[in-house]
């Protein structure tokens, strides 16, 4: 099995690539600026040169707020990018995994969003990922769509934001009424790498167990890391933002039979903190 991983410099593409390499699975990672998912020639050149058996497509435009002022760019990278990648996969007979997001849903109500729930994106980013999912489903039969949300595991994640605020002596204003499910990139990568070795095609939900508000997650980071930072919980509507976000970002745990439940958010955070603090 040969695997092409797009977005290999970001999350979770970086961790997917590392895990494949550690397991001795032939793989190649591509990312900007050498690789542009919105450029069909760039996509075709990479795919047809490497000829992978599996494409793990993590490359995406993920700046939710900036997407509101750059809708064409966001749609080009996410929607058209997935379309061109799916077309390339179809040409060479490869199967494809698309990393998607809880933001394809409206986030109404209190129940976790299920695989079968209707789309209802509240922002440009969410709509672009609906387009991406539709493109993959319309062109391929051997596909995996993995929805997740709140990925942490690098220098730009919410954990490091707490660290930076503590270091600078700043207070941190965080939403206390939006519900999220923070997901550790390494745990998500393990699910992705296991999934692509199966014939369990379709849409799946992968996230760490447990839900909290961003303010509660920030407090968890402080408690577990021993940092000192004042968290100011406010309603999500009071936080300056260009994009509307789902208030309920819970996802049902829907993975193939035989897949173990993903670890809890607390367990995942403890392992991540052990990695970056030691």
| CB proximity list for 224: less than 8 A, separation 6 or greater | 266, 269, 270, 273
Query: How far is it, in rounded angstroms, from Cα 184 to Cα 193?
Result: 15
Of 125, 143, 144, 272, which is the active-site residue?
125
Let me know if 201 is a catalytic residue. no
Q: Give CA–CA dist 202/39, Å, rounded.
A: 26
3-class DSSP string for the chain: CCEEEECCCCCCHHHHHHHHHHCCCCEEEECCCCCCCCCHHHHHHHHHHHCCCEEEECCCCCCHHHHCCCHHHHHHHHHHHHHHHHHHHHHHCCEEEEEEEHHHCCCCCCCCECCCCCCCCCCHHHHHHHHHHHHHHHHCCCEEEEEECCEECCCCCHHHHHHHHHHHCCCEEEECCCEECCEEHHHHHHHHHHHCCCCCCEEEECCCECCECHHHHHHHHHHHHCCCCCEEEECHHHCCCCCCCCCECCECCECCCCCCCCCEHHHHHHHHHHHHHC
- Determine contact, residues 265/215, Cβ cutoff 8 Å: no
- Is 16 within 8 Å of 56 (Cβ atoms)? yes
Q: Which residues are catalytic?
A: 125
């Amino acid at each position: 099995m040969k695997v092409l991983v797009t977005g290999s410099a970001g999350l979770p593409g970086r961790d997917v690539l590392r895990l494949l390499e550690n397991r001795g699975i032939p793989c190649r990672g591509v990312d900007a600026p050498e690789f542009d998912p919105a450029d069909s020639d760039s996509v075709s050149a990479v795919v047809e040169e490497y000829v992978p058996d599996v494409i793990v497509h993590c490359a995406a435009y993920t700046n939710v707020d900036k997407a509101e002022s750059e809708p064409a760019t966001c749609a080009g990278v996410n929607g058209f990018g997935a379309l061109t990648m799916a077309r390339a996969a179809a040409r060479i007979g490869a199967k494809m995994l698309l990393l998607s997001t809880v933001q394809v849903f409206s986030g109404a109500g209190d129940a976790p969003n299920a695989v079968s729930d209707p789309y209802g994106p509240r922002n440009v980013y969410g709509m672009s990922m609906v387009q991406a999912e539709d493109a993959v489903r319309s062109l391929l039969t051997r596909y995996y769509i993995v929805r997740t949300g709140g990925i942490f595991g690098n220098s730009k994640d919410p954990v490091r934001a707490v660290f930076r605020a503590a270091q600078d002596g700043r207070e941190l204003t965080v939403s206390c009424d939006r519900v999220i499910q923070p997901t550790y990139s390494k745990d998500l990568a393990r699910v992705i790498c296991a999934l692509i070795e199966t014939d369990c095609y379709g849409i799946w939900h992968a996230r760490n167990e447990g839900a909290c508000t961003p303010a509660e997650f920030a407090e968890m980071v402080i408690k577990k890391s021993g940092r000192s930072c004042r968290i100011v919980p406010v309603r999500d509507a009071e936080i300056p933002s260009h994009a509307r976000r789902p208030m309920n970002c819970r996802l049902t745990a829907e993975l193939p039979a035989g897949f173990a439940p993903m670890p809890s958010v607390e367990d995942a955070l403890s392992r991540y903190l052990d990695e970056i603090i030691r």
